Structure 1
Amino acid sequence: MNTTYFKETNPVSLAERYRLEDPEVLALFGSHPAAPGAWEDRAARLDAAAGRRADPRRVAAAIRDYHRSLPPSDAVDRSLTKLEQEDSLVVVGGQQAGLFGGALLIYYKALSVIQAAKEAEQRLSRPVVPVFWIAGEDHDFDEANHANVQASGGEVRRVRIERPEGPRLAVSRTPLTQEQWASALQELASQLPDTEFKPGLLDRLQSHVADAPSLSLAFARLLVDWFGGQGLLLLDADDPNLRTLEGPMFRELIERNDDLEGALKAGERVVLDKGLSLQAEIAPDSANLFLHHEQGRLLLHKENGRFIDRRGHVSYSCQEMQQLTADHPDLLSTNALTRPLMQDYLLPVLAAVLGPSELAYWGILGPAFREFELSVPLLLPRQSFTFVEASIVKLLDKYSLSVQEAIEEWETRRTQWLGEQDEWQLEEQFLQVKEQFKALYAPVLDTVSQLQPGLAKLAENNQDKILDQIEYLQSRSSDAIAKRHEASLRQWDRIRQSLTPLGKPQERVYGTVHFLNRYGPGWLSLWESVPFDANGGHRLVDAAAAI
């Protein structure tokens, strides 16, 4: 597949500076995957700290058990066997589930995990397994319950499942009915344009939801469809079998919660001292843990030596929290800042694939990793793509636009093109008329002001009304030109709706199903030929050359 890099015009974010190997930002993380010997050094650290992690055989058994609820795959079985080996390492990435696979960026993250694992296995000559965790413990159902597609008319349409009434439970614990799934599939079918691939796509999606699974489980089944042949292992962060294995780390996070808070605050100061912005400021006395409760997933805080939620539903002593880790570890849950620590305890994480916001979160975690005798894994920026369809390539050529111009300067270039279609030079003519009118009217203004001061304001209002009428005529004339070129302007709109739908990056809006419906299963195999880049970056994919 042919790809070219999109040049970032303002590389000032922490994530972009890290990607470009800015030494000041690298100091927050300790290393960079493009640095000589970085992979080997990380592997050696993991080998030395093997005794600090959960039992790898029990972890592999839990993941194997989870995969029994997913479509079978020989490549997945081979990855599970590799994971059981003592010298096995993993590359991980994760994301909240997404309806019908969610946005393209999820697909690209899983792809990045697989590519990085293959690269690392060749580099280190030892088993490296790709693992994708699904954030089923998250309770923001509105982040997971939708997918966007482009309808036949070119407009973006959102297909969604509404959250059931009641407490905001974790997504993996939110029950859905067959009626809800049937309605969502019907809505998807009505919005997707008719293609030769549409019936097969809808049938496969139906097969995944026939038993009315949670969003997380349906999402996992789809990921196995897409990536099972490449050996991607899946786990749900809310899996009770994994929770049991995480108990010792939860106990340490609870017992040393003040140390955790101090380390996170120290990480914040380091980031701020470098003149960087925080992704989100840590709330005072936050425990950085959640508790699953009948009233929903509750964020815990510390008050007078107890772990409480702000709404007054729970209040636990440290000892009672410790007892939960033994008796009911499934009631406990990490947040965005403690999940990386738990991940490193659970798995031999050689590298983690992160999006820009995640990298910003991780910027403060160095002191916390050290506080708990862990070390920050190699951090791989998620690969980012814009898929430039063949029909869009033709339109770009027609209007002499580069993809970069179409993404960054669409409004300016469209206005410029439309102005070039004005063979009558209307803008210049109307500007000249307005200037001439002002010149002719100036003596009148001066005369009536001298005649009676109160008439000055009336004269100015009169002038403004006449100018407004000239402006109105100019606007209607411009509309007439646009009307003459309506078909071409629709093509300009098609360019924008494809590359930057809703004014956002393509990968953050359109679902993967949008392109599967257009190009069929063969579209998935195209991505296997994309070369791996440890630095990530935004690449443009020329579909005309790929399909």
Structure 2
Amino acid sequence: MRNPMQTMATCFEQVALFFPGGDPKSQESFKRRAAYLDSRNYSREVLADTLKEYHKRLGANSETLQMIEELREKETLAVITGQQAGILTGPLYTLYKAMTTIQLAKEQRKRLGRPVVPIFWIAGEDHDWLEIRETYFLNSDGKPFSCLLPGDGGGESVGHQKVPAWDRIEAQLLELPESEFRVSVLKKCRQLTEQAENLTEWFALTLQWLLQKWGLIFFDPMLPGFKHLAAPMYEQILKMHVDVREALTERTKKWVELGFDPQIQPTGGEVNLFLGLPERRAILYEDQSFHLRGEKEPWDLDKLNDLLIQAPERFSPNVVTRPVVQEFLFPTLAYVPGPGELNYWAQLGGVFSALGFVMPILFPRLSAVVLTPSWQKYLNKQSLTIEDVYGGLEVRRERCVREQDTLDIDERFQHFREQIKKGYAELKPLEEIHVNVRDWLIRNEEKVNFQLEYLKGKVWQAQRKRCGDQLKILQQLEDGLTPQRSRQERVLNPLSFVSRYGLSFVDQVSEIPIRDFSEHQICL
């Protein structure tokens, strides 16, 4: 299957239909988008008031509050990204998304000559517990270890989940290496954990602390003020659900025809909204009536609209309609997606059109790999590249072990096996003694060969121990750069490095050029 991120970066014209916001590499795209947004209206005062109240509760600094005040102005635009509320920010790519958003907003503020603010949409309405319940750190030996949230989430949205007691979290972080920053970082994490009222707030407080210099605005869609603002959009989605579904299906078909693997599989009956009563259920339209997934009771459109007026907080968008709700609420100059998001956004251009909008510019988040001094040294010592590590080091391990084999282990065992075979051949005349002798000889030879293979395995095991230092280096590279057999940025928590190097690590992330869409190296 084709890579959407790579195609967008190198051959945008091939996928221009799917990204109507325009080529993110072209400043003309941003100028056109800004002009389009100037023709639309937004509830800026209510947005700013609700955001200001929320951020005062978070203890936001003056930089962030000033960004929120700027949202009141008609010329202010926004660069937005989003993510689920992972433990202590979740994986590194969360930080990379946020920093790309901050830097792009800063760049466009200068280039367009008007206020552009960075916003992080926290997907607190999501109830996919498995996506957020675990995060990974590195211990003093460079081995990954996990930190888990207790329980199973109970089917509730993340924003309704209580924060666990800090002692339960800290007990899992005892393996963090000793450093000059470890104690202060854990102390700060305790403070933020005890301050937070739910997992969404815990996430916001932690990321706000890491990015305190840059004035990032956080958006929690579960706040009542925002639910009332979004209600007209939910009403429109209910009314236009057939058009939305058809637009999604049509654009998905074209995406597949170009050789891409769609992230969203359109299914019949989807209205693309959830209703919480209190458990979050998808609203479906089948047999000429609405109903909730898993229930048979029919709903009509009037009943849903009445409930929407009375309790808009019970409604929430799914992956198809969340971007459109974002477009309705904010003057979105650009959205910063990861690779998976970029793939499913490509399916949504028709959905935006069906609901009367134009998709924003999609600007891919930065991608990076962190290299500690020891990992840099190991790569140089072994004459390896990062791509070598990504490809797997099994061949290199085997080569290291065999290069240290000065006794020709395999050849000696092969020679011995041939001698055994010859010896059993010399016993073949004994088959005349009894009809069973032939079977005895065959079975005995098989047992001897089995034991010989076992012995050979033990000898190679001992040989690998003799090569322990080199194999340990290779293992540490894999643990650090491809933990859990995945890219580092998708697994390791930023605090793995903040606890060792302090907030200067975040400063280094801020220096990465966002317009180079290749993977960057953060050398510590």
Q: TM-score range by the shorter chain?
A: over 0.9
**Matches of 1:207 and 1:542 in 2, distance apart?**
30
- AA aligned to 1:521 is L
Structure 2 SS opposite 1:230: coil
User: Do residues 425 (structure 1) and 418 (structure 2) align?
Assistant: no
Consecutive unaligned residues of structure 2, counting only runs of 5 or more, are none
State the match for 1:23 in structure 2. 13
State the match for 1:32 in structure 2. 23
**Matches of 1:449 and 1:24 in 2, distance apart?**
75
- AA aligned to 2:31 is E
1:536 to 508, 517, 522: 517
User: Do residues 170 (structure 1) and 157 (structure 2) align?
Assistant: yes
2:34 to 40, 43, 51: 43
**Matches of 1:387 and 1:268 in 2, distance apart?**
36
Shift of 1:211: 4.2
User: Do residues 481 (structure 1) and 469 (structure 2) align?
Assistant: no
My pick for the range that moved more, 353-362 or 147-156, is 147-156
After superposition, what is the alpha-carbon deviation per residue over 1:368-416, rounded to whole angstroms, capped at 9, x for unaligned? 1111121111111121111011011112222222222123231211221
- AA aligned to 2:58 is L
Shift of 1:280: 3.0
Listed as ranges, the matches of 1:239-388 within 5 Å are 239-294=223-278, 296-312=279-295, 315-388=298-371
**Matches of 1:146 and 1:358 in 2, distance apart?**
21
After superposition, what is the alpha-carbon deviation per residue over 1:136-185, rounded to whole angstroms, capped at 9, x for unaligned? 010123322332111234332211222367x4111111234xxx323333
Shift of 1:231: 1.4
State the match for 2:4 in structure 1. 14
**Matches of 2:416 and 2:340 in 1, distance apart?**
53
**Matches of 1:309 and 1:91 in 2, distance apart?**
34
User: Do residues 114 (structure 1) and 102 (structure 2) align?
Assistant: yes
Structure 2 SS opposite 1:361: helix
Shift of 1:21: 2.8
The 1:26/1:412 distance shift into structure 2, 3 A limit, reads: farther
Structure 2 SS opposite 1:316: coil
How large is the RMSD of aligned CA atoms in angstroms? 2.4
* Cα contact 2:4–2:342 (8 A) shared by 1: yes
State the match for 1:464 in structure 2. 446
* Cα contact 2:196–2:205 (8 A) shared by 1: no
**Matches of 2:453 and 2:152 in 1, distance apart?**
52
The 1:427/1:70 distance shift into structure 2, 3 A limit, reads: same
**Matches of 1:537 and 1:319 in 2, distance apart?**
50
My pick for the range that moved more, 400-409 or 328-337, is 400-409
Shift of 1:251: 0.7
Structure 1 SS opposite 2:405: coil
The 1:164/1:275 distance shift into structure 2, 3 A limit, reads: closer
**Matches of 1:357 and 1:193 in 2, distance apart?**
33
After superposition, what is the alpha-carbon deviation per residue over 1:250-299, rounded to whole angstroms, capped at 9, x for unaligned? 110011111111111112211122232221312210111111222x1111
* Cα contact 1:134–1:235 (8 A) shared by 2: yes
Shift of 1:417: 1.3
* Cα contact 1:195–1:517 (8 A) shared by 2: yes
2:494 to 512, 516, 519: 512
Shift of 1:462: 4.0
**Matches of 2:188 and 2:297 in 1, distance apart?**
43
- AA aligned to 2:36 is R
**Matches of 2:459 and 2:423 in 1, distance apart?**
24
1:228 to 200, 212, 236: 212
Shift of 1:313: 7.8
**Matches of 1:162 and 1:390 in 2, distance apart?**
35
Structure 2 SS opposite 1:291: strand
Task: Give the TM-score taking structure 2 as reference length.
Answer: 0.93
Shift of 1:242: 0.9
Identity between Structure 1 and Structure 2 (%): 28
- AA aligned to 2:510 is E
Structure 2 SS opposite 1:39: helix
Task: Give the TM-score taking structure 1 as reference length.
Answer: 0.89
**Matches of 2:211 and 2:258 in 1, distance apart?**
40
My pick for the range that moved more, 132-141 or 523-532, is 523-532
Number of residues paired by the alignment? 523
1:490 to 472, 478, 485: 472
State the match for 1:401 in structure 2. 384
State the match for 2:82 in structure 1. 94
Structure 1 SS opposite 2:57: coil
After superposition, what is the alpha-carbon deviation per residue over 1:449-495, rounded to whole angstroms, capped at 9, x for unaligned? 99999877665544433332222222111111112222332222111
**Matches of 1:243 and 1:71 in 2, distance apart?**
23
Shift of 1:100: 1.4
Consecutive unaligned residues of structure 1, counting only runs of 5 or more, are 1-10
* Cα contact 1:159–1:187 (8 A) shared by 2: no
